[in-house]
Amino acid sequence: MYAVIETGGKQQRVHQGAEIFVEKLDVNEGDTVTIDKVLLVGGKETRVGNPYVKNASVEAKVVKHGKQKKITVFKFKAKKNYRRKQGHRQPYTKLEIVNINA
């Protein structure tokens, strides 16, 4: 069984036992999170929500929090002596999918 969930403004396809990276959530490591924004549940029978599937949820365990690899943002305008260099590290939460309730 699999599901398509929405978290942090993004959609992800998950299945039981999968480990996913999502936008940082305000929970502690080791806690269990219930995601109610389930867009689709698939398996023997596929259920599509409008926009969300009723009475469906995904339970996930918080594995860890962290920051992604650093990216460099460089702005440049030719012939204007304009250069700006900036770095960014996006925070994330790593989740392990425990159960899909459909």
pLDDT tens digits for range 46-94: 999 999 999 999 999 999 999 999 999 999 999 999 999 999 999 999 9
Residue 71 lies in a domain: no
Which residues form the domain of 38? 2-65+92-101
Torsion angle in degrees (nearest 10) through CA of 90, 95, 101, 102: 40
Residue 74 lies in a domain: no
pLDDT score, position 102: 84
Assess contact for 28 and 60: CB atoms under 8 A.
no
Residue 31 lies in a domain: yes
The number of angstroms, rounded, from the C-alpha of 14 to the middle of its chain's C-alpha atoms is 10
When divided into structural domains, the chain yields a total of 1
C-alpha distances out from residue 78 to 72, 82, 85, 87, Å: 19, 7, 15, 21
Tell whether the model's pLDDT for residue 6 goes beyond 90. yes
Residue 87 lies in a domain: no
Residue 73 lies in a domain: no
Residue 57 lies in a domain: yes
Cis peptide bond upstream of 51, omega within 30: yes
Distance CA 34, CA 30 (A): 13
Residue 46 lies in a domain: yes
Instruction: Give residue-wise pLDDT tens across range 15-38.
Output: 999 999 999 999 999 999 999 999
